[in-house]
Chains A and B, each alone.
Chain A
Amino acid sequence: MNLEEIYERYADVCFSVALHVLRSPDDAEDCVQDVFARVWQRSDAYRPERGSLRAFLIACVRNDALGRRRAEARHRAIEEREARLQPSVEFEIADHVEAERVRQGLQRLPPDQRRVLELAYFGGLTHREIAAKLDEPLGTVKSRLALALRRLSRDLGAPQGAAP
């Protein structure tokens, strides 16, 4: 698969993930293009043993987006962008079957674990922000997050070493 094919196949989901974190189509687009170019230029960055290329790219994009957000302390600006987001990009219906499977998996988590995972992933909060919000020690929050993710992975039967 060449770069263009990879972009065609995965850009939309990566863009959606970046947009969720950055709330700016321009920033999300920059983020996705930077990550794709970087991963492509460093051919050793991705190892199939690790998992699917899709999951790897999404993780890279999400990490890059979180880094941009932290580095530029844009929280306030991001909140201000919320209202302007919808008209500027084309919205699609998500995969309802997959979404329902994830939703049920999250429901089966212990409430304290589900809460921290939702705050981290959907709320985009840092571990410290979650600890402050819930008034819990940082170490507890980190352990709950890791446990939640492990448990959800087992529950969803995430493929191990799946082909890209």
Chain B
Amino acid sequence: MSAHFGEELELYALGDLEERERGAIAEHVRTCDACARRIGEAEETLATMSSLLPAYRAPQRRRPVWKPAARVAVAAAFVAGLLVAAFTLAFINVGNESGDDIRAQVAMTHAHFRHIELTPVTAGAPAAKVIYAEDRSWLYAIVDDGRPGYRLLAAGPSGAHELGRLVAHGASSSLFIAHPTKANRLELAFGNRIVARGTLP
């Protein structure tokens, strides 16, 4: 870990540092609890100072409507009564969403579904989730990485077979399988390497 920062941490909280310096501090506090706490303390104080500002109500009219980039995804999530967290990975770049995403959203608004998080098995593996219909009529895999090359595999006693290739779009990749699958043990591969695993209950 690099050396701790000094007064730059308070200046960071105040929001008036050069982009390069901000980036260096942001990177540092990802792994340094001491500096993160010091920034947090400064942020807490600045938040308290906001009590001296005139207080306004945020406009109501756009509350449920997000920016175009996230609108479709979040709307689908609200309609379906989802844990929105399950979707955050999926729709980072909804602006150039794939056909799979649209089909998945339509499916999700018409079915009961659950999700699991795949467990990384290699260092640096991206976050990945699988959303699936309770009746297993469809399955939707999402990976927080826009590089092409991800595949979803079903693992069985006689080895793994490929369920499909994820489509990369923007900052994420996804795969929608619109037919019933009995697969329970899922593996996410990047190229020939397994990077994450999960089991549907």
Contacts and interface: CB of A to CB of B under 8 A. Distances in A.
Contacts of A13: 47, 50, 55
| Candidate in B8, B11, B48 with the most chain A CB atoms within 10 angstroms | B48
Interface string A61-104: 01100110000000000000000000001111111001101110
A50 B56 contact: no
B47 A55 contact: yes
Contact of B84 (A3, A19, A121, A146): A3
Category for how many chain A residues contact B: 35 or more
A56 to B, nearest CB: 6
A90 B54 CA distance: 10
A40 B84 contact: yes
Contacts of B127: 43
Contacts of B52: 94, 99, 102-103, 122
A153 B13 CA distance: 12
B40 to A, nearest CB: 3
A121 to B, nearest CB: 6
Interface in B36-70: 36-37, 39-59, 62-64, 66-67, 69-70
A37 B48 CA distance: 23
B88 interface: yes
A64 to B, nearest CB: 8
B92 interface: yes
B53 A16 contact: yes
Contacts of B63: 4, 7-8, 11
Contact of A32 (B54, B58, B69): B58
B16 interface: yes
Contacts of B78: 4
Contact of A120 (B9, B14, B48): B14
Question: Nearest 7 pairs between A and B by C-beta?
Answer: A51-B40, A146-B7, A15-B58, A63-B15, A50-B40, A146-B10, A98-B51
11 contacts: A2-B83, A4-B78, A12-B58, A13-B55, A17-B53, A41-B70, A50-B36, A50-B40, A59-B47, A94-B55, A149-B14
Given A120-B14, A146-B7, 6 more contacts: A33-B62, A50-B29, A56-B43, A102-B49, A102-B52, A150-B42
